[in-house]
């Protein structure tokens, strides 16, 4: 596959940085909004034909350099037997684990519950030759939702207390999540994904010492399993901050940087053999197109010095982002002389 995205992931210098955006397959696209008039979010992610269609919308509508599977990180808790209601205010778990006396016993782990994801991958691979990114949530992030039960408490106080008060059970839950995630990731690879991104959306929730002790070993188990099958891996530890100095080639091939850390500072902290992805503030896409162009222009020197860089946002595309600005952002990157 002659892909600027895959070439960059594999360490080859290209004439420009590739571009794709987290949450590109939804929210901001009029074509996705039209589909949402007829289908619930749950229907879209669990119906393979529909998930494949949404996956490819940003490639067709925006011209991004890679597609990412349209799914959700909470597929893992669903496959572990947890019931989730997809509300307009985010996912809600009917029976969070933090209040349970024996949380591991509450789980009914059935990997076959994820078969619809692999069928969606099959449909995408049949329909398109664009690089396809598979993904999963990382153990800390998944466990936070499983313990807390709702997504509106972004600081996850019940989960944090559980980590400190019930260390042995925390480790048991991490192991269970990690084992299922490895199976999930490897089956995505078997069905044809070209790259894999591991989302640690809440890595800044705990001190870096605790993260390194409890969660980073599980991350490395997952990344080792993915990379052992010849697939490049991007790790997104949102909020990790100065902990980026612990990101070495043993952890991942590329690390995605959030907008709180400048790319220049990230490049100084991260091991030189690890490429960077990111890190534009999603709010930039609400600015005037002149300001967007000036901001992108200011990154040219960085690319010339550090060509192992994939352009992305520091988190997902925000709802109500002007679609014309998203088009402008992608077109400017693809049509500009970066050298």
**CB neighbour class for 297 (10 Å; exposed up to 12, middle 13-18, buried from 19):** exposed
Nearest to 258 by CA among 277, 243, 274, 273: 277
The verdict on whether 308 is a catalytic residue reads no
Collect all residues with Cβ–Cβ distance below 8 Å to 24 and sequence separation of at least 6.
58, 62, 64, 68, 317
Strand partners of residue 135: 197
The verdict on whether 72 is a catalytic residue reads yes
The verdict on whether 299 is a catalytic residue reads no
Q: What is the Cα–Cα distance from 31 to 25, expressed in whole angstroms?
A: 10
CB atoms within 10 A of CB 235: 25
Collect all residues with Cβ–Cβ distance below 8 Å to 190 and sequence separation of at least 6.
118
The verdict on whether 167 is a catalytic residue reads no
* Catalytic residue selected from 65, 72, 253, 258: 72
Token digits of residue 243: 């902990």
Q: What is the Cα–Cα distance from 140 to 76, expressed in whole angstroms?
A: 13
* Catalytic residue selected from 16, 23, 267, 308: 23
Q: What is the Cα–Cα distance from 173 to 178, expressed in whole angstroms?
A: 8
* Catalytic residue selected from 27, 92, 221, 227: 27
DSSP H stretches of helix in the chain: 4-9, 30-36, 41-46, 48-62, 75-79, 115-127, 139-148, 157-165, 167-190, 208-210, 216-227, 263-269, 289-297, 300-305, 323-335
Collect all residues with Cβ–Cβ distance below 8 Å to 136 and sequence separation of at least 6.
73, 75, 76, 181, 184, 185, 196, 198, 199, 222
Nearest to 261 by CA among 270, 248, 272, 251: 270
* Catalytic residue selected from 32, 145, 211, 299: 145
The verdict on whether 36 is a catalytic residue reads yes
Looking at the annotation, which residues are catalytic? 23, 27, 36, 72, 145
């Amino acid at each position: 596959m002659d892909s600027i995205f895959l070439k960059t992931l594999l360490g080859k210098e290209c004439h420009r940085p590739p571009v794709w955006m987290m949450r590109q397959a939804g929210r901001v696209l009029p074509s996705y909004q039209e589909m949402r008039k007829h289908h619930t979010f749950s229907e879209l992610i669990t119906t393979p034909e529909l998930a494949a269609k949404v996956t490819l919308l940003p490639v067709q509508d925006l011209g991004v350099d890679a597609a990412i599977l349209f799914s959700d990180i909470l597929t893992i808790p669903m496959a572990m037997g947890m019931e989730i209601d997809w509300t307009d205010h985010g996912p809600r778990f009917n029976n969070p684990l933090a209040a349970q006396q024996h949380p591991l016993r509450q789980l009914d782990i059935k990997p076959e519950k994820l078969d619809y994801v692999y069928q969606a991958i099959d449909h995408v691979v049949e329909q398109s030759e664009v690089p396809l990114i598979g993904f999963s949530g990382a153990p800390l992030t998944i466990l936070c939702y499983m313990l807390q039960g709702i997504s509106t408490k972004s600081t996850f106080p019940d989960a944090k207390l559980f980590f400190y008060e019930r260390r042995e059970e925390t480790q048991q839950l991490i192991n269970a999540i990690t084992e299922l995630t490895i199976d999930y990731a490897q089956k995505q690879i078997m069905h044809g994904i070209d790259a894999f991104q591991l989302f640690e959306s809440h890595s800044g929730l705990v001190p870096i010492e605790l993260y390194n002790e409890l969660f980073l070993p599980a991350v490395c188990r997952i990344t080792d399993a993915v990379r052992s099958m010849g697939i490049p891996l991007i790790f997104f530890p949102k909020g990790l901050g100065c902990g980026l100095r612990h990101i070495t080639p043993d952890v991942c091939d590329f690390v995605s940087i959030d907008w709180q850390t400048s790319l220049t500072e990230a490049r100084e902290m991260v091991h030189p053999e690890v490429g960077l992805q990111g890190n534009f503030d999603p709010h930039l896409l609400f600015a005037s197109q002149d300001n967007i162009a000036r901001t992108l222009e200011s990154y040219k020197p960085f690319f010339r010095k550090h060509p192992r860089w994939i352009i992305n946002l520091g988190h997902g595309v925000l709802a109500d982002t002007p679609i014309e600005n998203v088009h402008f952002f992608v077109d400017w990157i693809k049509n500009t002389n970066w050298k």
